[in-house]
């Protein structure tokens, strides 16, 4: 039964809600790819393709990659053979115009929203420490280094990246509420949104998500 059904899923939620991890669980279960649009953009940039020249131009001009380019990249990705039986977007679409463009390419079957409060997001993100040399990421509570503020691998000092300061985290959460909640509303109108409580253990989040998708875990 599972094999016949096509799942076209998007997992959304604020930073640190665990959507990347849950996308991987679903990818393993359903044997369909988890797709990160940000990752594809970074890969295109590395390849130095024609598209990458355009991406660079736009990034230099205004900082954000245009919807036309995003749509092109997504379209290209969805035509790859592994996505023929479905896919899982990790954190995409992020803004309403992306959702509308995506609708011209394909129709999502499920949108999973992993919910955590701003306080929880702040607490998860503000505990992050990064090695100043190798870039390894630790968390004071969830994955602390063996010695305080020292990298296990190279004994270098751990730092707080500027991305992980409370001001920047607040700013990102504000943007999430303003932009992505509009996207969620867009899909609510189609009746395809599933809400999952992200403030549980990773396994409990997975179980709730699988149960609501009517999958066996």
Chain residues in the site for Zn ion (CB under 5 A): 131, 133-134, 136, 151, 153-154, 156
Three-state SS letters, 76-94: HHHCCHHHCCEEEEECCCC
Give yes or no for a contact between 137 and 128, defined as CB atoms under 8 angstroms apart: yes
Query: How many CA atoms are closer than 13 Å to the CA of 169, on its beta-carbon side?
Result: 19
Q: Which residue's CB is nearer to Zn ion, number 69 or number 151?
A: 151
Q: Which residue's CB is nearer to Zn ion, number 58 or number 156?
A: 156
Compute the least distance from the CB of residue 126 to Zn ion, in Å: 20
Structure tokens given for 25: 């669980």
Compute the least distance from the CB of residue 56 to Zn ion, in Å: 30
Q: Which residue's CB is nearer to Zn ion, number 106 or number 144?
A: 144
Q: Which residue's CB is nearer to Zn ion, number 24 or number 152?
A: 152
Structure tokens given for 103: 């609708």
Compute the least distance from the CB of residue 195 to Zn ion, in Å: 38
From CA 194, how far away is CA 115, in angstroms rounded?
10
Compute the least distance from the CB of residue 158 to Zn ion, in Å: 8
């Amino acid at each position: 039964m599972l094999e016949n059904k096509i799942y076209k899923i998007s997992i959304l939620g604020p930073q640190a809600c665990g959507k990347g991890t849950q996308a991987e669980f679903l990818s393993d279960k359903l044997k369909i790819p988890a797709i990160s649009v940000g990752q594809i953009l970074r890969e295109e940039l590395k390849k130095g393709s024609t598209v990458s020249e355009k991406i660079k131009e736009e990034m230099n001009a205004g900082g954000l990659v245009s919807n036309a380019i995003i749509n092109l990249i997504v379209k290209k990705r969805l035509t790859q053979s592994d996505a023929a039986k479905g896919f899982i977007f990790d954190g995409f679409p992020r803004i309403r115009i992306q959702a509308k463009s995506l609708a011209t390419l394909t129709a999502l079957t499920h949108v999973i929203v992993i919910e955590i409060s701003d306080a929880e997001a702040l607490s998860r993100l503000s505990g992050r420490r990064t090695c100043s040399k190798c870039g390894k990421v630790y968390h004071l509570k969830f994955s602390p280094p063996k010695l305080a503020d020292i990298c296990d691998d190279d004994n270098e000092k751990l730092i707080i990246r500027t991305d992980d300061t409370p001001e920047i985290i607040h700013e990102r959460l504000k943007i999430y509420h303003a932009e992505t909640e509009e996207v969620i509303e867009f899909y609510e109108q189609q009746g395809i949104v599933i809400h999952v409580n992200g403030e549980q253990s990773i396994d409990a989040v997975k179980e709730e998500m699988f149960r609501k998708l009517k999958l066996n875990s």
